[in-house]
Amino acid sequence: MSNNKQIKVGIIGLGPVGGILAVKLQQAGCEVALCIRNEVKRNKIINEGIILENVFQDKARFNHVFENVDDFVNLDLDYLIFAVKTYHVPDLLKSTSALITEKLTVVAAQNGIDTEHLYTSTFGDGKVLRMVVNFAGNQINPNTIKVSFFTPPNYLGSINDNRRAQADELAQILTSVNVTTEAVSAFDLVKKVWHKTILNSSLSALCGVGRLTMAEAMSDPDTVELIEQTISEAVGVAETEKIRFDDNFIRECMRYLKKGGDHFPSLALDLINGKETEIEFFNGKIVEYGRKHYVRASLNLSFTNMVNAMTNKNIISRMPGITTDISRKILNKGLTINPESLNQYKKSDCFLGIDLGSAYTKFTVIDDKGQALFRYFLPTLNNDKQAFKNVMQSISTNFNIVMSCATGYGRKHFTMSDIVKTEINCAAAGVSLACPGEKNIIDIGGEDIKIIRCDKDDNVQNFYMNDKCAAGTGAFLSEIAERASINIAEMSTLASLSNYEKELNSFCTVFAKTEIMNWIFDGMSLEDISRGVYNSIANKIAKMRIDPGIPTYMIGGVIAHHPYLKQILSEKFDLKINIIEAPQFVVSYGAAVIAAKTFAKKGKNEPEPAEAEN
């Protein structure tokens, strides 16, 4: 092995593939240099070396560990191995031209079809080897890799056979340390690449989209069928490229995949972790070659587009230029006025109300006359903080918000508003602008019911709200619908088809569910069950105090989605009940109204400097 000591290898990328190659080549007597950008990882490898566990159990230390590719220039490398993800290659190539010497051989150690094309424009066909990698692992910590499998052999080939000798040399070196690698001709290489890619494509994207490990995917008949059909598509596309596999190929693939472990393939891990993927070179290439020959590869196309869509969703909020599109989408969705008149509101005074309710956060923007300009909502307990920022960004970009008001249960934790008011006073303000004078307001929300009485001056004179349990609220309806297997979107229509007067006795949501079970066992129809649930809510409200001599209005998310409930309440109370327009937004609208009034009041007390000058 004395000859190997003179062979110098640079490795870029110290993920599992790069790490395994680094340790094994060093073990074989090569002089291995590493390029590691991450400082923590770099320092740990400098101090402790790299450790392999499980299938390979080795460790090695390294004398040359660098931060930048440029640092390789003094080493006069024989081989430069790229063990990075394909999407990192273009950037890295910008700084490798200085490394090119007559003897340098470049190794592309990524799987996927046509990955070698990334290198040929920089290095030329003559200098590039392509490796088909048949081992993998998991990074346990920055310098430890658990090798999950090795299915020999790996394949190594020269793109145009000019570097056949180097392929032979490197293959022998790896084989000498038990990483069996076979050198093949350029034409055989293509077939090996397609073989490997078909295996990867059949299952990796599925595992990522479906959150399945390889073992899970290969044990469910439904996903096994998908995998087999995906392979079949790919075999058909390969055939159009004159790459033919024998009759048992699909069966051999399925047998091979069945031995897959209970872990996620690399592409699936990238997708799950919100990173970029190599789908372009896996299923994406199969689709591309299919198009070239007018052959449909629908399953591969589905997986490619699905992975791309999921990737874009993850990445989109971090890409600067893309926010304009999001803002536009939000604006288009929330706008309640003609878009053509939008420009005037960038300069005139606008007001924002935000209702951080127990279920949803509602936004309403109004002008100084109280006209609603924009309405939007998000789930309140949404881990996607970016979604909230996007809405606020869209509002501030398109409207001149001079004052804002927060309300709802989350109001005290929301620090971006100018004033804070309770939802009861906001509800009164919201209804009163359109319906001045004495009135009752019934607000059925996600977790509570409020009855509000306003006097002739629109002030809250009295109010009541439940504080014992969630019976009769949105949470109650969701629980009951789930128990009764009623599509909650259809509940209102179903109830309108029933004349039955069954009622729940329990106030408690949990006990009410038990009663519903008994109704179901008795064979009660969905229509009767739906009406029974509404009757129970009406009874709940009947126990609260409503003045029959004045108008009554309903607001809140529940009445927005269950309009037939109004009919039942009208019958029970023998009074006319009106539903306010966009009832689920009335509280945030009222918050905006209060912001406008507060701003107007301040305007009288604090004249602008310009006015003072006048």
Chain positions contacting another protein, by CB under 8 A:
409, 421-425, 448, 457, 459-460, 463, 465-468
Query: What is the Cα–Cα distance from 126 to 291, expressed in whole angstroms?
Result: 29
What is the per-residue burial (b if ≥16 Cβ within 10 Å, else e) of 150-161? Answer: beebbbbbbbee
**Closest to another protein by CB, 93 or 465:** 465
Closest among 213, 206, 219 to 263, alpha carbons compared: 213
**Closest to another protein by CB, 421 or 540:** 421
Helices (H), 485-524: 491-496, 509-521
Query: At its nearest, how many Å lie between another protein and the CB of residue 614?
Result: 29
Query: At its nearest, how many Å lie between another protein and the CB of residue 365?
Result: 23
Query: What is the Cα–Cα distance from 579 to 566, expressed in whole angstroms?
Result: 8
**Closest to another protein by CB, 85 or 421:** 421
Q: For residue 184, what are the β-bridge partners?
A: 157
**Closest to another protein by CB, 201 or 407:** 407
**Closest to another protein by CB, 322 or 510:** 510
Report CA 163 to chain centroid distance, whole Å: 44
**Closest to another protein by CB, 158 or 466:** 466
Query: At its nearest, how many Å lie between another protein and the CB of residue 584?
Result: 18
Query: What is the Cα–Cα distance from 24 to 33, expressed in whole angstroms?
Result: 13
Task: Record the tokens describing residue 458, joined without a space.
Answer: 């629109």
Helix, strand, or coil here: 274?
coil
Query: At its nearest, how many Å lie between another protein and the CB of residue 283?
Result: 49
The CA radius of gyration of the chain, in Å to the nearest whole number, is 34
Query: At its nearest, how many Å lie between another protein and the CB of residue 45?
Result: 52
Residue showing tokens 């009940």: 577
Helix or strand run (H / E) with residue 414: none
Query: What is the Cα–Cα distance from 269 to 274, expressed in whole angstroms?
Result: 9
Query: At its nearest, how many Å lie between another protein and the CB of residue 358?
Result: 8
Q: For residue 462, what are the β-bridge partners?
A: 453
**Closest to another protein by CB, 465 or 550:** 465
**Closest to another protein by CB, 210 or 410:** 410
Query: What is the Cα–Cα distance from 243 to 237, expressed in whole angstroms?
Result: 9
Query: At its nearest, how many Å lie between another protein and the CB of residue 506?
Result: 18
Closest among 457, 464, 420 to 442, alpha carbons compared: 464
Query: What is the Cα–Cα distance from 500 to 381, expressed in whole angstroms?
Result: 37
Query: At its nearest, how many Å lie between another protein and the CB of residue 356?
Result: 12
Closest among 20, 87, 100 to 58, alpha carbons compared: 20
Query: At its nearest, how many Å lie between another protein and the CB of residue 472?
Result: 14
Q: Is 523 left (phi over 0), alpha (psi -120 to 50) or beta?
A: left
Query: At its nearest, how many Å lie between another protein and the CB of residue 481?
Result: 24
Q: Give the single-character DSSP code of 335.
A: B
